[in-house]
Structure 1
């Protein structure tokens, strides 16, 4: 059997991804250089795509014209290969929840350190983000073309958009996405885990945006009541950490120093 035929056989068995190690095990008598040359040739022919070092996905017919496979096709298998928990996050998660106005140019994945290293030449579609822990009960799952994918709940997505706003283009972008996402949010769910996962300053900034920028007072009040129930003591924090804070107005409810103007795009 050739490597090409083996790959097609694996795909027919519902295994559209594989590693170099898998090939080496199944072709143990074949010289390594020959294996590498064959995988390179199949990649050039757009039969397979290397999406991470020593990890490949078959390019299904629906993606053969562009020769680029969307990360939802292989992300769960890749993270299993890396032995890392993960969730699809930020704008990518918001899009799954239906907030698609700010369509992401890259696919955001949150996982644990150590840092996942791959060159832009190898895969420039995925941007990695990191947490100390992955909050399993704040994740959602759905079927993909090849299995199950995991993504942040609407509540965790909302917090992440504010906490990691530098990765989505700033607070104005985050607030625009929140304006679409807000109808699916319920801050009464898993609030303990949410507040343990997110920084308190991110909760404050999120609450302020919901309350005074988006005028979503019901959602903002629900978040504020959860803070009160958990006896969280708020200290003043700037809306934008990278901008000066002297001489700016302060919001007493959320303890926010208003040192940035947030503008929402028309939806």
Structure 2
């Protein structure tokens, strides 16, 4: 009868780096006690890692020493297991788009509400945020050795960083990344975003920052056109519940309440 070690080896032969308890039970008709005993032995040898109850990562020799896998090797299987939509977001998405100025220890993901708890296991830290307005655009599919995975487009990555700036460590921490993201962004990407994105205040901040960063004119044009004839209100560049925006002197109606310091 097949051993769990044989099953794991077969998975790796097909570039599969994750499996579920249910999947294992179908492949190997042993008792739960016997299967858990074999899983325990492989875990002690650091050949597998129980990421969540009932979901395991396979660590091939080249990753065993790190105690983790690249996110793109297993994120699709993880969210199928969780039965939730997702995309790689924030700093993690920015790195895939070539904007890797910030070195971060955790991986960032977005899902649909209700939210999931962050996943912390060994050297793996998945920071998971949730939105009530799930995008039907601006999610790109990339391909890894293990298959496809979802990632926010450059425009969605930028506006997510702006909208969640407090959670991301403040505006100045993300400013250099916005500059780099602009280099891989297209007008079409922005136009798609403007068709569905619900937070007008974050779009105002995006336009203001792109103008401050002297981004390409073709990126500013769709943002400027979006506000023509639109009723919108002054906002602070950095949200502050204890302050209200005062007089504004720019078309974005954004009040600068922080000194911008890009470290690019």
What TM-score do the two structures reach when normalised by structure 2? 0.89
Deviations 1:66-105 (CA, angstroms, capped at 9, x unpaired): 2221222100111112222211111111111111111232
| Residues 53 and 122, structure 1, Cα contact 8 Å, conserved in 2 | no
Which range moved further: 78-87 or 238-247? 238-247
| Residues 155 and 193, structure 2, Cα contact 8 Å, conserved in 1 | no
Aligned-partner SS, 2:108 = strand
Between the aligned partners of 1:27 and 1:217, the Cα distance in structure 2 is 57
Aligned-partner SS, 2:38 = helix
| Residues 245 and 259, structure 1, Cα contact 8 Å, conserved in 2 | no
**1:5 corresponds to:** 6
Which range moved further: 247-256 or 5-14? 247-256
Is 1:96 aligned to residue 96 of structure 2? yes
Aligned-partner SS, 1:165 = coil
**2:233 corresponds to:** 235
Compared CA separation, residues 35 and 118, structure 1 to 2 (3 A): farther
Is 1:109 aligned to residue 100 of structure 2? no
| Residues 154 and 184, structure 1, Cα contact 8 Å, conserved in 2 | yes
Is 1:18 aligned to residue 16 of structure 2? no
Deviations 1:212-255 (CA, angstroms, capped at 9, x unpaired): 2x122623343111332xx4321011112126436866343111
RMSD: 2.3
**2:214 corresponds to:** 215
Gapped regions of structure 1 (runs ≥ 5): none
Compared CA separation, residues 38 and 168, structure 1 to 2 (3 A): same
1:104-143 alignment to 2 at 5 Å?
104-117=104-117, 119-121=119-121, 124-143=124-143
Between the aligned partners of 1:188 and 1:247, the Cα distance in structure 2 is 31
Aligned-partner SS, 1:101 = coil
Between the aligned partners of 2:4 and 2:216, the Cα distance in structure 1 is 60
Compared CA separation, residues 47 and 64, structure 1 to 2 (3 A): same
What TM-score do the two structures reach when normalised by structure 1? 0.88
Aligned-partner SS, 2:69 = coil
- Aligned pair partner of 2:248 in 247, 250, 254: 250
